[in-house]
Structure 1
Amino acid sequence: MILLATFASLRWGEVAALRRMDLDLKAGTVSVRQQHVELDTGELLVGPPKSHGGLRTVAIPEAIIPALRQRLDPFTEPAPVALVFTGANGGILRRSNFRRAVKWSETTKKIGVPGLPFHDLGHTGNTIAASAGASLHDLMARMGHEQRTRHDDLPASRRRRTRASPTR
């Protein structure tokens, strides 16, 4: 889970919602099609990513594919819709249960990054991708950020207002 979050720049809700059919280990890709959202009430919702740009397919490094295979075969049901990562009883994995099970605070301290938020794993992966030559466009796509190319595509509240310069 940590390898995918890091090297595919996935958010918590995206990696927690991954199903077997979302991983194509032969092609070396992961497709983000949905996310899990935990409300303050504890209710879990399943839905699309937060933006259109969040629907994406991301390349994953060949180096982590063996670890993913080791995870899938013994721990994930064979059905295409089976969740890749589940809680202790086979249900949806909750962030709080994950943090407790892996002793997140202690673990991040041991590896020299105390207090590392799970969210920052994706930023770490993008830093690695940038150092390998990924463009800003590629980095934004990996993280599911929408890319606007035209001024008119921006919401009116975000358009820069300019005045016509006087002619001489």
Structure 2
Amino acid sequence: MRRRLDWFTEPEPTALVFTGVNGGILRRSNFQRAAKWSETTRKLGVPALHFHDLRHTGNTIAASADTSLRDLMARIGHESVRAVMIYQHRTAEADKGIADAMNHKIKRVKIQS
């Protein structure tokens, strides 16, 4: 990865990793065209996939990895807890973890009694 970054990006820490055709900022308006997004997603069989769906998926996975709310806020770039909570989806796996933790605590209390 380092070799690729060295080859394709400028050395400054503020250098852009992905750029537009002329080396400028890759914006949503020119990304769609440059990446041939519609054509590519159609060929992959996911024509309704939006680029932001990738961000949402990545952030949802990060949120399910026992990440603190503060760390998620930093990763996602939001100052608002409300905005970050969008990625804290309720899952059956999480429900089972909560139930198991509750059972464990109840058993400890019974043993101590």
TM class by shorter chain equals 0.5 to 0.7
Partner of 1:111: 44
Partner of 1:77: 10
Unaligned runs of 5+ in 1: 1-65, 149-168
Q: Does the 8 Å contact 2:41/2:49 carry over to 1?
A: yes
Instruction: From the two aligned structures, give the one with the greater helix fraction.
Output: 2
Structure number with bigger Rg: 2
Partner of 1:93: 26
Instruction: From the two aligned structures, give the one with the greater strand fraction.
Output: 1
Cα 1:136/1:78, change in 2 over 3 Å: closer
Three-state SS of the structure 2 residue aligned to 1:119 is helix
Partner of 2:71: 138
**One-letter amino acid of the structure 1 residue matched with residue 63 of structure 2:** A
Q: What's the TM-score once normalised by structure 1's chain length?
A: 0.39
Unaligned runs of 5+ in 2: 82-113
Equivalent pairs counted in the alignment come to 81
Cα offset, 1:90, TM superposition: 1.6
1:32-57: CA deviation from partner (whole Å, max 9, x where unpaired): xxxxxxxxxxxxxxxxxxxxxxxxxx
Cα 1:134/1:80, change in 2 over 3 Å: closer
> What is the aligned counterpart of 1:129 among 62, 73, 83?
62
Partner of 1:18: none
Cα offset, 1:104, TM superposition: 0.7
**One-letter amino acid of the structure 2 residue matched with residue 87 of structure 1:** G
> Superposition RMSD on alpha carbons, in Å?
2.5
Three-state SS of the structure 1 residue aligned to 2:51 is coil
Q: What's the TM-score once normalised by structure 2's chain length?
A: 0.53
Three-state SS of the structure 2 residue aligned to 1:100 is helix
Cα 1:138/1:109, change in 2 over 3 Å: farther
Alpha-carbon distance in structure 2 between the residues aligned to 1:83 and 1:100: 19
Cα offset, 1:136, TM superposition: 4.1
Alpha-carbon distance in structure 2 between the residues aligned to 1:86 and 1:143: 21
1:46-79: CA deviation from partner (whole Å, max 9, x where unpaired): xxxxxxxxxxxxxxxxxxxx3xx35412211223
Cα 1:127/1:88, change in 2 over 3 Å: same
User: Percent of aligned pairs with the same residue?
Assistant: 77
